[in-house]
Structure 1
């Protein structure tokens, strides 16, 4: 197997920018494949939590069930648990609520939550 030092020497000795660019494209492709392999598969029915990367902050940490994706699979509807629905209802500014949740709604559906903001409960099963 080639060592990292040998690879670095090989790259340093490449003759021109086109060759280096070709190598860079291959490395980028490999990085994307490795990253995708580590990413959990988000499918409807899986349970999870909204992570700290989302805005507004009132949605952070809420739990629920993944619902249907958008056309590109980059956003999902997310059905909150009863507890999370209650938390969201009370986290908002009462004078200017972003989400209107009627009192009789037990599980509120958030629409178009970015896939990058959903952490699944059981990523080992993905």
Structure 2
């Protein structure tokens, strides 16, 4: 049996109380987590990826590198920028005031690992090898 989106929306509109709507929200959240997990399953350590437009801070968007280890829940991953993206981030004027950058990248560093707890895997798009 196929259900249309209009039928789903009509069903939701007929729910009698907040408890029923809360149950629907919980089920939706579980499904979204499962979809996100399926979409990022291929992002394992060693894969090349690009940081997509959903990440904040914006100055990291579009940078490329290699996925590192994932955290315990698999929701975040360490990220090692490639040489070109390291150069771009080092020179990006949005990286703070001169002498006080948000990301301190020494001139002799060829590949920079984004510090902190990692990048959300939902903000990484796998780059297919050529």
Query: Do both proteins adopt the same fold according to a TM-score greater than 0.5, normalized to the shorter chain?
Result: yes
Give 1:58 deviation, angstroms.
1.3
CA distance in 2, matches of 1:75, 1:54: 12
Superposed, 1:1-126 pairs within 5 Å as 1=1, 4=4, 24=24, 28=28, 31-32=31-32, 35-36=35-36, 39-41=39-41, 42-91=43-92, 92=95, 93-111=97-115, 112-122=118-128
Moved beyond 6 Å, runs of 4+: none
RMSD between aligned residues: 3.4
Give 1:116 deviation, angstroms.
1.6
8 A contact 2:81–2:114 mirrored in 1: yes
Cα deviation code 1:11-36 (max 9, x no counterpart): 69x9x77xx67x94896488448724
Given the superposition, is the C-alpha separation of residues 99 and 38 from structure 1 closer, same or farther in structure 2, using an over 3 Å criterion? same
CA distance in 2, matches of 1:35, 1:99: 32
Give 1:52 deviation, angstroms.
1.3
Given the superposition, is the C-alpha separation of residues 117 and 30 from structure 1 closer, same or farther in structure 2, using an over 3 Å criterion? closer
- Give the structure-1-normalised TM-score: 0.70
Structure 1 unaligned spans of 5+: none
Structure 2 unaligned spans of 5+: none
CA distance in 1, matches of 2:75, 2:34: 19
Q: Which has the larger radius of gyration?
A: 1
- Give the structure-2-normalised TM-score: 0.68
Given the superposition, is the C-alpha separation of residues 34 and 116 from structure 1 closer, same or farther in structure 2, using an over 3 Å criterion? closer
CA distance in 1, matches of 2:34, 2:73: 21
